[in-house]
A and B are shown apart, each in its own frame.
Chain A
Amino acid sequence: MASSRGGGSQQVIRTGDMEKMSLDQLKAVKEQADIEVNLLQDSLNNIRAATGRLENASAALHDLSLRPQGKKMLVPLTASLYVPGTLDDADKVLVDIGTGYFVEKTMAEGKDYCERKINLLKSNFDQLIEVASKKKTLADEAGLILQAKLKQSSPSS
């Protein structure tokens, strides 16, 4: 389940501070910011994948609700073994809510659950995008200032 992890200490480094730093410090700042940007991108991808899975589940639920009771179907027993069966009461569904707990819900409640989770993930995703873009601009600024300093210390005649 994708969850927003508490990151390390947040240091607000302003452009003015970066101008005063030495080359080594600036390099360290840029590397640190790059690592953080990568971590945030990974988290963003995870959230996107989880949202995709939930949307699949929601679509499957919707499809199931359209099927009549008694309909013949193939039930997966393993990844390569399907067994013919008939659809029983499609109004009750078992929902995995995490840490090994399953809850019996009606079809409507199940759809509602998927909706809620998708909304939660979307808001997490939006929050994360904000943080990630701020970090990216910081990393880019550090890179620019680093390049400028490098040019300064080794001027090409």
Chain B
Amino acid sequence: MSSSSTALRDLQSDLENKANDLSKLQKDIAKNHQVRKKYTIQLGENELVLKELDLLKEDANVYKLIGPVLVKQDLAEANANVRKRIEYISAELKRLDSSLQDLEEKQHSKREAILKVQQRSQSLQAGKAKA
């Protein structure tokens, strides 16, 4: 009798641990979405800037706002900078995508594991009730 109640307690604590892990996973997924949204917006803005820069003639004046200072920049340099930023953001987004997939898989398997523990604890409780 006591062995089945300790087994039940073990299952309960296991369930608690798994539930905590699941909520942490969900928080990580939510954070991933937030960062993803930020990067997507930045990517869109940078692509707009690149389009504008492409429309310019070679001798057009480009200025960059660095803090409170407007600094004259070379068109080629500005193009290169924006392109590099776009590359960086795209790489970050890809990285986020793969880590999101990873997190979602972990969340799925965690949910299945929780279900199994719940089923075992239910059958154990049913067994105790019958005895």
Contact = CB atoms under 8 A, between A and B. Distances in A.
A103 B63 contact: yes
Given A1-B48, A98-B49, A104 B61 contact: yes
A100 interface: yes
Given A1-B45, A1-B48, A3-B45, A101 B65 contact: yes
Contacts of B49: 97-99, 101
Contacts of A105: 60
A107 B61 CA distance: 14
A5 B62 contact: no
Contacts, number: 57
By Cβ-Cβ distance, the 10 closest A-B pairs, closest first, are: A104-B61, A3-B44, A100-B65, A97-B52, A102-B63, A98-B49, A98-B45, A97-B49, A99-B49, A101-B49
Contacts of B44: 1, 3
Given A101-B63, A101-B64, A102-B65, 8 more contacts: A1-B44, A3-B45, A5-B41, A97-B49, A98-B52, A99-B49, A102-B62, A102-B63
**Which range holds the interface residue count of chain B?**
20 to 34
A1 B52 CA distance: 14
6 contacts: A97-B52, A101-B64, A103-B53, A103-B62, A104-B61, A113-B52
B66 A100 contact: yes
Contacts of A94: 63
A84 interface: no
A3 B65 CA distance: 22
Nearest to B33: A8
A6 interface: yes
Nearest to A112: B55
B58 to A, nearest CB: 13
Nearest to B63: A102
B65 A98 contact: no
B123 to A, nearest CB: 26
Interface in A74-108: 94, 97-105
Given A5-B37, A103-B56, A103-B63, A98 B48 contact: yes
Contacts of A6: 40
B97 to A, nearest CB: 11
Contacts of B63: 94, 101-104
A99 B44 CA distance: 11
B82 interface: yes
B114 interface: no
A33 to B, nearest CB: 19
Nearest to A95: B52
